[in-house]
Amino acid sequence: MVIFRLIHESFVFAVQSLMSNKLQTALSLLGITIGIFSVITVFTLIDSLESKIRTSINSLGSEVVYVQKWPWIFGDYPWWKFYQRPVPNIKDMQAIQKRSKTAEYVAFTASTNKSVAFKNERVESCKLVASTYDYKQINDFDLNEGRYFSSLEMASGHPVVIIGYGIAEVLFKGINPIGKRVKILGRKLNVIGVFAKEGKDMLNKSHDNTSLIPVNFARNVVNLRSGRLDPTIMVIPREGISSDRLKDDIRAALRAEHRLKPAQDDDFALNEISTIITNFDSLFKTISIAGWVIGGLSLLVGGFGIANIMFVSVRERTSQIGIQKALGAKNFFILFQFLFESVFLSLFGGLFGLIIVSTGVAIASYGFDFPLIMSLGNITLGIMVSLLIGLVAGLIPAVMASRLSPVEAMRSV
């Protein structure tokens, strides 16, 4: 009962202090509010962006090894070493298929942006992907209508195409596109399938705006050895085969195919999704530190503001403290009373900052096609930081108040 009465009285004192110095209190709490708002906003954006990017990265397949000309390196790197490398080609893919005993599926792709037209309708800048048959085994996608390529269509280079959901919506406007002929690269292609709707993707890997054609058709229309088409070989290991073992196998196959001597460096790059994840992790850590620095300055100002208002409160209530001590109040009671008031003020400012963030998240989620995540962890972080700021800012004033001599305090009456 004593502890509840102590909390109740401390709460009453805190509210009275808040109401008696409204302007001063508001200005003091502004720093805490801005600080919590800054920190939680940064972390909310980071969590949302990280979730979106990780979802996009996972859709690429964590087991896939990408054989490309350029390595996935962030920051400065010796680009001149890679510039003269040859781009991967179909012969490289066939060498991996023939020599590797650890590869389950191997696919070659080349991509560019081209328009897709049907009668008077046209969709500009669609992603056009030319691939071999195993593309479906490596990439995760579903078909909304139609079917995938047959092995005969792939091998013979039939003029067939699978179009994205977004392309079908614009060109056909509700009409079944299967069997219709669209124009791509100046050629007529028969639509045999439509990708299921996937939505926007941070890494531009969504099939909504993609057209997929057989690589043997594309090689008669475009130069697949052009670096502008980003030729890539994708490889998935057999069950139970590690990524490192698969890469060693691919490396041996390609070095033999390219007739590289033992002392020569690889003239190709073996890229993995884990490389992107590692680089993004370091990026998010840097952004988090920046968020703490930005918000920390505001929190520091807010902490000084609360400490200032608590010193003023101690000075204004010196006589009241003397009366309380004369009536038998212990030092702990006075200490707790002022600490509670400091924490209450800090929490009030922090909660107001959280309310602003949550309101902004709700508005942004409603108005933009980018889901923001304000997690329970971020809310808890905001509350705990506010609590800590209140404790630290109010500790010295509370100790000063608890150590006041009743006689000295009563003289100020």
pLDDT tens-digit map of 215-250? 999 998 998 888 889 999 999 999 989 988 999 999
**pLDDT tens digits, 362-400:** 887 776 666 777 778 888 888 888 888 888 888 888 888
Of 136-145, 207-216, 238-247, 355-364, the range with the lowest mean pLDDT is 355-364
Q: Is the pLDDT of residue 155 over 80?
A: yes
pLDDT at 401: 78
- The residue type found at 30 is L
The structural domains of the chain, with segments of one domain joined by +, span 2-56+278-410, 86-267
Q: What percent of the chain has pLDDT over 70?
A: 87
pLDDT at 203: 63
pLDDT at 359: 85
Q: Is the pLDDT of residue 212 over 90?
A: yes
Find the angle CA(279)-CA(283)-CA(82) to the nearest 5 degrees: 40
Of 132-136, 233-237, 343-347, 364-368, the range with the lowest mean pLDDT is 364-368
Determine how many CB atoms are found less than 10 A away from the CB of residue 196. 13
pLDDT at 352: 86
CA distances from 63 to 109, 135, 139, 243 (A): 17, 14, 11, 7
Q: Is the pLDDT of residue 208 over 70?
A: yes
pLDDT at 20: 67
Average pLDDT over residues 332-354: 83
pLDDT at 254: 94
pLDDT at 192: 96
Q: Is the pLDDT of residue 204 over 70?
A: no
Q: Torsion over CA of 201, 126, 364 and 48, rounded to 10 degrees?
A: 10
Rounded to whole angstroms, the Cα distance separating 301 from 62 reads 45
Q: Is the pLDDT of residue 258 over 80?
A: yes
pLDDT at 67: 94
**pLDDT tens digits, 21-76:** 677 677 767 778 888 888 888 788 877 877 777 777 766 666 889 999 988 877 67
Rounded to whole angstroms, the Cα distance separating 133 from 137 reads 8
Question: Which structure tokens are listed for 310?
Answer: 């608590």
pLDDT at 110: 94
Average pLDDT over residues 286-314: 78
Q: What percent of the chain has pLDDT over 90?
A: 33
Determine how many CB atoms are found less than 10 A away from the CB of residue 214. 24
Confidence band for 311, pLDDT divided at 50, 70 and 90: confident
Closest CA to 89 of 260, 204, 226: 226
Closest CA to 32 of 357, 304, 336, 396: 304
Of 94-98, 196-200, 232-236, the range with the lowest mean pLDDT is 196-200
Question: Which structure tokens are listed for 348?
Answer: 């009030």
Determine how many CB atoms are found less than 10 A away from the CB of residue 282. 11
On the CB side of 385, CA atoms within 13 Å amount to: 28
Q: Mean pLDDT in the chain?
A: 83
Rounded to whole angstroms, the Cα distance separating 245 from 237 reads 9
Q: Is the pLDDT of residue 189 over 90?
A: yes
Exposed e or buried b for every residue in 62-96, given b needs 16+ CB within 10 A? ebbbbbbbbebeeeeeeeeebeebebbbbebbbbb
Backbone φ/ψ region at 397: left (φ over 0), alpha (ψ -120 to 50), beta:
alpha
CB 32, CB 349: distance < 8 Å: yes
